[in-house]
Amino acid sequence: MHEDPVMAAGLRAILGEHAEFAVSTHAACPQALSVAHVVVADYQSGIAAARQAPQERYSPARRVLIVTQFDKEWEVRMAMDSGVHGYLLQGCSAEELVKAARLLSQGLRYLSESVTRCVADSLSRESLTGRETDVLRLLAQGCCNKSIARELGIGVGTVKTHVKGLMSKLDATARTHAVVVATQRGLISASQRAMARPQNNGFHNAAFQ
């Protein structure tokens, strides 16, 4: 059930070459979702399918394999937390696609090598708290400490504490460096950075690396 019809056709053609699989597309047979053992989907459709429990009491335990171009840390983690069982990046080989579908049909999980490294790296790093993420988002928009405090309803001193904490966790040397690192890791999106306000916000230590 990949949103890209060309991708959907290609995935069906590759998997359909193997007699062990009975393959259908969501567009041609929407009701197949209720009995499918493995759902191969794009990112958003995959997360939705993983979160949706089978409607029928005796429906098989549905396992979801995402095939996507999204490779940021938070995107992968969100998919795993939503119950997705497999994660492949577009551009993977036909052999890897078949391997992943086979393992999921056997009740196992599969992550591509690069995705596995991404998850492993994220687990080795201390994660940001919810409030630190809020502060980071506003930093990316160009807000100064006073603006952040006003936006979040907290004190300026508390903002400074959160900024210090997130910079330490991101191993950043400056506030703007923290935004760059967070964008590279996918903790904030490029669109959020694009919202930066053209104002004098006190960023005297603007160091990009």
pLDDT at 59: 54
Do 134 and 118 lie in one domain? The reply is: no
Q: What is the mean predicted confidence (pLDDT) over 147-151?
A: 93
Reply yes or no on whether the pLDDT at 60 is more than 90.
no
The answer to whether residue 204 is domain-embedded is no
Pairwise CA distance, residues 139 & 207, whole Å: 14
- In terms of residue numbers, what domain contains 100? 5-123
Q: 200: pLDDT confidence band, cut at 50, 70 and 90? A: very low
Do 10 and 112 lie in one domain? The reply is: yes
Domain of residue 146, CATH code: 1.10.10.10
The answer to whether residue 141 is domain-embedded is yes
Pairwise CA distance, residues 51 & 67, whole Å: 17
Maximal C-alpha separation, the chain: 64
- List beta partners, residue 66: 41, 87
Pairwise CA distance, residues 23 & 10, whole Å: 12
- How many domains is the chain built from? 2
Reply yes or no on whether the pLDDT at 208 is more than 50.
no
Pairwise CA distance, residues 127 & 143, whole Å: 22
Pairwise CA distance, residues 111 & 176, whole Å: 33
The answer to whether residue 208 is domain-embedded is no
Q: Where is the domain boundary, 97, 123, 149?
A: 123
